[in-house]
Structure 1
Amino acid sequence: MTEPLSKVDSAVQGLSSSPPKDKGHRRQSSSAAGVMNVNDLEKEGVELRLAVETQKTGWWVTESVLDAKINSSPMSIDEPAILKLHLTKPPVKKIDLRFPLGMEVTARNLKGVTIKDAMDAIYKAYKKRADDELDNPYLAGFEWDKEESWTRLVVHLQKQPASSGGGGGGKKKKGKKDEE
């Protein structure tokens, strides 16, 4: 036991004197190419366009009317392919959704916010509300108003689901009868 102690301990042996190199933020690789930050779009002056499917009636249904309410799951949609579409063009990582009475929710997806992401955010905010608590339970669509806020979409709600083949066609037929 006359030997002097040395630094042979395995915990000390592999360490270097310089700190490890910073490899940057890890999330960059999970972000899809072409997906922008909505704040960067505002700085660059790039305008958002909404997906046409978001302007359909009753939870974005194209042909048929679905009696889905904002307090029901988006998985009840007849056309699940619509859910995979990007909410905006160009796609953004997150966007705020503002309701008429001032409540705001945020839809997020690093690969671009989809219609499903927006519907999930809305559903999460309203899922505990009973049907009779909601004045306007059906989604009518979104509106982007750059004058009000570049980084926010306004959510429009309605009392009844719109019916396909609505009253507009009837008025046109009536107008043609009047002309004859």
Structure 2
Amino acid sequence: MAAEVQEQPASLSKVDSAIDDAPASPSESKPKHRRSSSTVSGVFSIVDLEKENVDLKIAPETQKLNWKINTATSTIDDKEALAKLLCHPLIKKIDLHFPLGLEVTARNNKGVTVKDACDAIYKQFKKKADDELEAPYLAGFEWDREECYTKFIVHQKKTGDASSGGGSSKKKKGKGGDEA
């Protein structure tokens, strides 16, 4: 008679809606990540790279942009440089640290580009007037492994490089009285 009891549940043809393949409690189930498609292979978290002690290389094109940080990135002449990746290996996000303490974050799940970094900077400075900025031009980025692995330092300069040449010669320093 005990053998008949074990066979009986297998012969049931009705499906009970209360019973499914899911585990009884939520703790037994593994959470399903909705955004698995947003992860791209070859793009890393800066924190993971720090743990593995990987060297970062910043794109040298950032030093030649001649971009005023309170103007839109569409005003940058070198469109090809904007499409370049900000650093290698590719990273999902990076904090950009300004010397006076301000920080902005550039993000892109497919790898942060030069444009992503410039857009993040522009978002912070777009409402600033030219005379409010002491050094309004982007000079480039620096990565200092010892100071802070997870941040790039933003360097700025007072004047942009004039493509016609002689743009900075308009401003003369010292009016003769300083030489004594």
Aligned-residue CA RMSD in angstroms? 2.1
Deviations 1:5-32 (A, max 9, x none): xxxxxxxx75545348546323232122
Q: Give the 5 Å matches for 1:59-70.
A: 59=67, 69-70=68-69
**Which residue matches 2:93?**
94
How far apart are the structure 1 equivalents of 2:158 and 2:73? 18
Amino acid at match of 2:158: K
Q: Which has the higher contact order (CA 8 A, sep 6+)?
A: 1
Identical amino acids, percent of aligned pairs: 56
**Which residue matches 2:111?**
112
How far apart are the structure 2 equivalents of 1:71 and 1:106? 16
1:91/1:113 contact within 8 Å kept: yes
2:66/2:161 contact within 8 Å kept: yes
2:69/2:122 contact within 8 Å kept: yes
**Which residue matches 1:33?**
41
Scaled by the length of structure 2, what TM-score is found? 0.74
**Which residue matches 2:137?**
138
Alignment pair present for 1:47 and 2:55: yes
Larger radius of gyration: 2
Alignment pair present for 1:77 and 2:76: yes
How far apart are the structure 2 equivalents of 1:115 and 1:24? 33
1:84/1:114 contact within 8 Å kept: yes
2:62/2:81 contact within 8 Å kept: no
> Mind listing any 5+ residue stretches in structure 1 that lack a counterpart?
1-12, 60-68, 168-180
2:135/2:157 contact within 8 Å kept: yes
Change (3 A) 1:57 1:79: closer
**Which residue matches 2:161?**
162
> Mind listing any 5+ residue stretches in structure 2 that lack a counterpart?
1-15, 167-180
What is the SS of the residue equivalent to 2:96? strand
Scaled by the length of structure 1, what TM-score is found? 0.74
**Which residue matches 1:6?**
none
1:57/1:161 contact within 8 Å kept: no
